[in-house]
């Protein structure tokens, strides 16, 4: 059961198909994470429990260093893919698939420094010279003559 996306009203009023209240299941899971007494009759307390639970999982959930631009939130992973990638669910594997798309860097606001340089060269060995030349041009090591390569 996904309590991270549930609101307090659904949590307190809904039941499963077997007749077990969501609140009962939630409190069991909550006390397993945060041992101690709970007060199921206090609405303010329940709100605090749910907020603490959501905060716990949101801080643990995503350790990926890649971050998408806001306009690319919920971008499909591939053509026809049912997976929508956003900053909450992005993984290194998803990021690599997006980077391998043509001009894939445009999707990202943050690309980890050490991975961005090595990833392009290892994924596209036939383009190694062009990438190096481009990076030198951006760094100012090669003057831009305006001529196409």
* Rounded Cα gap, residues 59 and 48, in angstroms: 16
> Most distant CA pair in the chain: distance in Å?
73
Q: In this structure, are 47 and 80 located in the same domain?
A: no
Q: Can you give the residue range of the structural domain that contains 12?
A: 3-61
pLDDT in tens, the chain (149 residues): 788 888 899 989 999 999 999 999 999 999 988 888 999 999 999 999 999 988 877 765 567 788 888 888 888 888 888 888 887 778 888 889 999 998 888 998 888 876 544 455 445 555 444 555 555 555 555 555 555 55
Q: In this structure, are 51 and 74 located in the same domain?
A: no
* Rounded Cα gap, residues 38 and 42, in angstroms: 9
Note whether residue 129 is domain-resident.
no
Domain end among 61, 82, 100:
61
Domain tally, the chain: 2
Note whether residue 136 is domain-resident.
no
Specify the pairing of strand 108-110 against strand 84-85: unpaired
pTM of the predicted model as reported, rounded to 2 decimal places: 0.43
Kindly report the length of the chain: 149
DSSP state for residue 67 in the 8-state scheme: E
Burial degree of 56 (CB within 10 A; 0-12, 13-18, 19+): middle
Q: What six digits make up the tokens of 131?
A: 């990438």
Q: In this structure, are 119 and 73 located in the same domain?
A: yes
């Amino acid at each position: 059961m996904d309590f991270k996306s549930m609101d307090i009203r659904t949590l307190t009023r809904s039941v499963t198909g077997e007749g077990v209240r969501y609140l009962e299941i939630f409190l069991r899971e909550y006390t397993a994470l945060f041992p101690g007494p709970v007060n199921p009759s206090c609405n303010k307390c329940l709100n605090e429990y749910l907020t603490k639970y959501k905060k716990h999982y949101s801080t643990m959930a995503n350790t990926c260093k890649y971050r998408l631009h806001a306009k690319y939130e919920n971008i499909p992973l591939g053509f026809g893919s049912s997976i929508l990638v956003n900053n909450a669910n992005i993984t290194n594997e998803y990021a690599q698939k997006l980077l391998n798309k043509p001009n894939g860097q445009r999707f990202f606001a943050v690309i980890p420094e050490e991975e961005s340089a090595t990833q392009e060269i290892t994924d596209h060995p036939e383009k190694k010279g062009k990438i190096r030349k481009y990076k030198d041009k951006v760094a100012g090591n090669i003057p831009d003559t305006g001529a196409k390569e």
